[in-house]
Each structure stands twice: as C-alpha cells, then as structure tokens.
Amino acid sequence: MQTKRLVSPSDLSIADMEELFTVSAELKKRLLNGIHDQSFLGKTLVAIFEKPSLRTRLSFETAMTQLGGSTISVAQGEIQIGKRESVPDVARVISRYADVIAIRTFAQKTVNTLARYASVPVINALSDEHHPCQALADIFTMREKLGDLSKARVCFVGDSNNVSQSLAWFCAKLGIRFVLAAPKGYGFNEKFIKAVRRDVGQDKLPIREMRDPLKAVKNADVVYTDVWTSMGQEEEAKIRRAAFENFQVNAKMMKAAPKHAVLMHCLPAHRGEEITDEVVDGKQSIVFDQAENRMHIQKGLLYLLLGETA
C-alpha cells in the first residue's frame, strides 16, 4: 500500500484497495483456520472517540488484539481535542506514544489536521463527511457474496451522509454503478461530485440519483440503507421522517428489486423507520456479515499501514 493514512477515499488507489481486499481475505481465512498472527506484539493503537461507538470501537480493538497488539480508547471528555488542547499538539503527543491513530469525530477538518501533524498513520473511523472503513468493509462483503462487481449495481436508499458518500466514491473508483435514491434536497452536493471527478479523473461518473426508490432498486444487486437522522442531526428528525416517509426499505421495496439482490445496512438500524424487521432479518440480508467484516477489513488496513505483508 502506497499511502500511510486513510483520511478520505482519495487516499487509496485502485491498487491499494485490491491489496487491502486480498490481505483482509487472507487474514480472515487464517482466523477461521484458528491461526492467530502476532505481528503487532508491542504495537499500540490509540483510538479517539468524540461520538458513541459499538462496531467501530470493538472491531478496531478486536483486530489489534488478534494481531498481538493493544488499543487505548479515549473519549472526547478525557482529552477534549481542539478545546483543552489543539489538534496539532494532540497529534504530536500521541505520535510519541502510539504506532497508529484512529479517530471517530464530527468534523472532517479534525481528521485532516490530525493526519497532517501526526508522524504515525491516521485512520478516519468516521467523520461528518466520510466513513471509509465502513465503505471498504461494504465492498469487501459485496465481493464475498456477489463475486465480480464490474457489472454490479448498488442502490443506496437514503441521504448523502458520510456512508453513502464514501461508498459512492469507492464505487466510482472501481467502476461500480451507484444509485442514490433520495428525496429532493437530500442528494449529493456539487462540491462532493467535483471532488470525486477530480480524484477519479473523469467527468462521467457511474453515480446517479433518483427520486423514486421503487424504480431505483429495480435493477439493483445491492439494496443499501442507513438511518434517516445521523448523529448531530437530531433537531432535524421530525422533518427528515416526513421527507423519507416513502423511502422505507420494506418487503414491498425488496420485492421491487431482483430476487438475487442482497440487503445491506451499516447499523445501528432504527427498525420500523428506515427499515423493517422483516427484511433486516430476512434471507436477503447480509447486514451482520458486513458488520463482522468491519473487523477483517480494518485488520487488513492496520496490517498494511504498519508495513506488514500477508
């Protein structure tokens, strides 16, 4: 892997992604065969959490443990990054203690600044603009379930949040067709599209937007959804529920999709809101496979960022 950080999807080339998928698959295979790699013995991950976390925290901590390393998780109240102490100073100090830093925060600017001043690899574990670890785990899971994705169609039913933006960006890099089914006013902004065009190097991207979710999923191989109201948007909850009223992924919507389509959700799910129990627990759901793969893809990412080879 050429890069030594993962701040946004622009940090990874196609070759980097292919190497990551290969290494993650190999490490997952070893684990399933009872082989525990101890390459990270004596190495430390410092994980900073400004937002609550289940999958991100546990998947990173478990990945480091299984590789023989350790994790120190700190909450915003403990360090007050950017308030009690400047982000550059936090980056410089932690770099003296740890081998790698992961941060789950609100502002993308915080991640960018941390990576700029840190002398060790920095991983964006979620920001208001991007969730690259989630998107990479999603594509890794799609490859496991569907095989070749060169002709695949991914339909994200929801808004242009951090998950959909990272997933659309990585799909554009890999030439995977991506459709965002969203109400008017909740689609991708021009700044995002320009950034993807600049990174991918082409004006015509395999990214579309549709307003009718039933039509959008008609040819989808993957139907993906997420919560309608993300952390930090709580005041908009009532407005968003009204706007997304017809965008619930339920039995009717899955029936409109091809029979072979798989269902994905990055979790946590607000059951009965953006998705129903019937489909999240149904035969087409691979929701918990993608949750598991967060650990495997992050293990591969840590492995490569710290200079290991599978």
Exactly one of 55, 153, 177, 294 is catalytic; name it: 294
- 11 included as an active-site residue: no
**Residue 108 backbone zone (phi > 0: left; psi -120 to 50: alpha; other: beta):** alpha
Exactly one of 266, 290, 296, 298 is catalytic; name it: 266
- 104 included as an active-site residue: yes
**Residue closest to 10 by CA, chosen among 267, 231, 194:** 194
- 116 included as an active-site residue: no
- 133 included as an active-site residue: no
Exactly one of 5, 55, 104, 130 is catalytic; name it: 104
Distance CA 295, CA 55 (A): 8
**Residue closest to 167 by CA, chosen among 177, 297, 104, 249:** 177
- 248 included as an active-site residue: no
- Strands 153-157 and 70-75, by their bridges, are unpaired
In the block, residue with structure tokens 């991207």: 205
Contact partners, residue 305, CB within 8 Å, separation at least 6: 1, 3, 4, 5, 6, 100, 121, 123
- 233 included as an active-site residue: no
Q: Are 21 and 140 in contact (CB under 8 A)?
A: yes
Q: Are 275 and 247 in contact (CB under 8 A)?
A: no
Distance CA 121, CA 99 (A): 7
Distance CA 135, CA 294 (A): 9
DSSP one-letter code for 81: B
- Strands 207-210 and 222-225, by their bridges, are unpaired
Structure tokens at 136: 């990479």
Give every strand in the sheet of 44-49, ordered side by side: 70-75, 44-49, 100-104, 122-126
Distance CA 263, CA 275 (A): 10
Exactly one of 134, 248, 290, 298 is catalytic; name it: 134
Exactly one of 131, 177, 240, 265 is catalytic; name it: 131
CA 125 from centroid of its chain's CA atoms: 8
**Mind telling me the catalytic residues?**
104, 131, 134, 226, 266, 294
